[in-house]
């Protein structure tokens, strides 16, 4: 297995529920290290660009509107197999279908308000980390 990096976002619903720390514990307890982080309130333009891959999907407008409804906690995570590991910790997109013990099963209410984002592959991870963090704000190898 390789050491990878992935982008994670704690979405407005989970930030509002005050569970940033609980979600960070899931990362830390499973070998994922926070190597960059910031709390931000995304503009419609920023959220729209971040989710541009979903532009043609029927839920795009709702997604952008939800992601700009409050502050989000954005972090780059590093660790063994980080991309798949984070997806595993997150659980399925629809919290009703997410395995027990996953972040979405434990903290999310609906497919719209589903607590977390995680990169889905090496290419998207690279692009997504670069979208939010310049190289000088990423601190690896601590
Ligand atoms: P993911 O977050 O599990 O990677 P994606 O398919 O990449 O899921 O979709 C991005 C986000 O768009 C989801 O996390 C969810 O918030 C929203 N979304 C996806 N599918 C639907 C849907 O069918 N209805 C409403 N929102 C959806
Ligand atoms: Mg996705």
Atom of ligand 1 nearest to the CA of 117: 2
d(CA 129, CA 45): 17
Q: Supply the residues annotated as catalytic.
A: 117
List, in order, residues 6 or more apart from 132 with CB less than 8 Å away.
7, 36, 38, 40, 74, 76
pTM score of the predicted model: 0.98
- Rounded to an integer, what distance in angstroms lies between the CA atom of residue 42 and that of residue 38? 11
**Per-residue model confidence as pLDDT tens for the chain (142 residues):** 799 999 999 999 999 999 999 999 999 999 999 999 999 999 999 999 999 999 999 999 999 999 999 999 999 999 999 999 999 999 999 999 999 999 999 999 999 999 999 999 999 999 999 999 999 999 987 5
- For ligand 1, atom 2: residue with the closest CA: 117
Measured CA to CA, the distance from residue 65 to residue 70 in angstroms comes to: 10
Tell the residue nearest (CA) to atom 24 of ligand 1: 59
């Amino acid at each position: 297995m390789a050491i990878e990096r992935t982008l994670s976002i704690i979405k407005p619903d989970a930030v509002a529920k005050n569970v940033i720390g609980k979600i960070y514990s899931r990362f830390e307890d499973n070998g994922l290290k926070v190597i960059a982080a910031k709390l931000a309130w995304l503009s419609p333009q920023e959220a729209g660009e971040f989710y541009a891959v979903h532009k043609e999907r029927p839920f795009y407008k709702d997604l952008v509107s939800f992601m700009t409804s409050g502050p989000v906690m954005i972090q780059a995570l590093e660790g063994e197999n980080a991309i798949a590991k984070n997806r595993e910790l997150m659980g399925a997109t629809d919290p009703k279908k997410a395995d027990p013990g996953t972040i979405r099963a434990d903290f999310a209410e609906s497919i719209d308000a589903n607590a977390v984002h995680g990169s889905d592959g090496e290419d998207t991870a690279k692009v997504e980390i670069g979208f939010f963090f310049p190289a000088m704000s990423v601190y690896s190898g601590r």
